[in-house]
Structure 1
């Protein structure tokens, strides 16, 4: 038995749940369900992934006790707006984790990407395009995958990975877990909070009509705005100041020559890391 349950708001909204102790990949399971005709509105949650993946096909390490969860939806929205669901996911996960991680002394992260809240440093911050940081280190990640259906609509698998009990080692960036931060919360507890936070934020999105409001919330919890940034785009490094996220969800970098560069994809580094030449 997995032990997962939906939060009360998610249950009321009619979401369904398939829970697992271990699974290959929750995203793979969700997309297989879509191919088999599932109408969406179903979560796939597991305490371990044995074949998890992150962006650009990278392996996502998920030891037992961490949370891997994917929501399958088939939104009635323009397919070009589907990518903005990543910001809905980020705001949702930020809400869930901010409620779980208590306020306390905030350490400056190695990546120098601390967010702000109420005029002070925040323990939880969103890192463009799809990471959640705690004290400047990666605590969670998000992966969106789409699959076109026979009726022309797109099924969207929104994957969430949260380091509850352990963070992977040997990464090129700092990572942390709730356990490292002195917080004992199970994958089931995190999922309960996430499923309810999703209902709230998805309601704001309104099939893409409310994306401006979602982006406003995302910017309010963003890491690194106003700080030096380096974006690696397949080996090409763009450097400057992280100015904002525009209304299309692109990262806007102001280069040394004052040119504003819109970034649609890439690996982002802040602060001292942004100065490293690689």
Structure 2
């Protein structure tokens, strides 16, 4: 089965992540792309707004006993996302922000949501190709500010980039982590991390743990390892 035949495009659905997880016959490498998504989700249950012309898609990964820690797949997804956008448009200022955002300068261009059920995991991608949604207290941007790219054109780019990143994840996690770091906010970048409803930390980016967790250097010289948190630059 070649790449294009593994990409299924539908006019509308609730959630591409939910659809793939609910399809027992779906195999690794299959992609579901929706031109409109009615129940899209971001991290921590947040709504992902479906604006016309944007990209909403998910792919399935069948986890193997020999695979690296599943959370580190977020690194593969991030590397694939930035490579696909680089291939689609001459965007400048592209940068990965932990844990799952792709930025152009200070504004969010795209996000990733990983969800797992047993040994099946889906990676969902939302990319502002045409329109930037309004998000309270967050700056957003659309790729249309630099180039016009359709969901149908972007789909094979992200599918090919993710296939390469997934192979690297399984064969050389260290190289994959290096690739992510080279595309992300640099070491020493000031970060504000909301680790919970009553806990906000200020520190500097100190790299990643092997499973993809954030290492935050605090002012007292200690390093806090964060597996789930909201991160702001500065």
Aligned to 1:113: none
Aligned to 1:147: 117
Query: Is there any run of 5+ residues in structure 2 with no aligned partner, and where?
Result: none
Q: Is 1:233 matched with 2:195?
A: yes
Aligned to 1:274: none
Query: Is there any run of 5+ residues in structure 1 with no aligned partner, and where?
Result: 1-5, 105-122, 149-153, 272-278
Aligned to 1:251: 214
Distance across 1 between alignment mates of 2:35 and 2:186: 31
2:6 to 13, 16, 29: 16
Distance across 2 between alignment mates of 1:205 and 1:79: 8
SS at match of 2:69: helix
Structure 1 window deviating more from structure 2 (43-52 vs 77-86): it is 77-86
State the Cα distance separating 1:257 from its structure 2 match.
1.0
State the Cα distance separating 1:234 from its structure 2 match.
1.4
Distance across 2 between alignment mates of 1:77 and 1:168: 39
Distance across 1 between alignment mates of 2:97 and 2:31: 24
State the Cα distance separating 1:81 from its structure 2 match.
1.4
1:186 to 130, 137, 150: 150
State the Cα distance separating 1:146 from its structure 2 match.
0.5
Distance across 2 between alignment mates of 1:79 and 1:92: 18
State the Cα distance separating 1:22 from its structure 2 match.
1.6
* 8 Å contact kept, 1:224–1:270: no
1:175 to 134, 140, 151: 140
State the Cα distance separating 1:78 from its structure 2 match.
5.1
Aligned to 2:228: 265
* TM-score of the pair, normalised by structure 1: 0.79
1:213 to 175, 178, 183: 175
Distance across 2 between alignment mates of 1:252 and 1:98: 27
* TM-score of the pair, normalised by structure 2: 0.93
* 8 Å contact kept, 1:47–1:68: yes
State the Cα distance separating 1:248 from its structure 2 match.
2.5
Q: Is 1:157 matched with 2:122?
A: yes
Cα RMSD, aligned residues only:
1.9
Deviations 1:156-178 (A, max 9, x none): 11100000111111332111111
State the Cα distance separating 1:80 from its structure 2 match.
6.8
State the Cα distance separating 1:224 from its structure 2 match.
4.8
State the Cα distance separating 1:190 from its structure 2 match.
1.4
State the Cα distance separating 1:100 from its structure 2 match.
2.1
Deviations 1:97-127 (A, max 9, x none): 12223155xxxxxxxxxxxxxxxxxx21111
Deviations 1:130-163 (A, max 9, x none): 1111122110000000112xxxxx1111100000
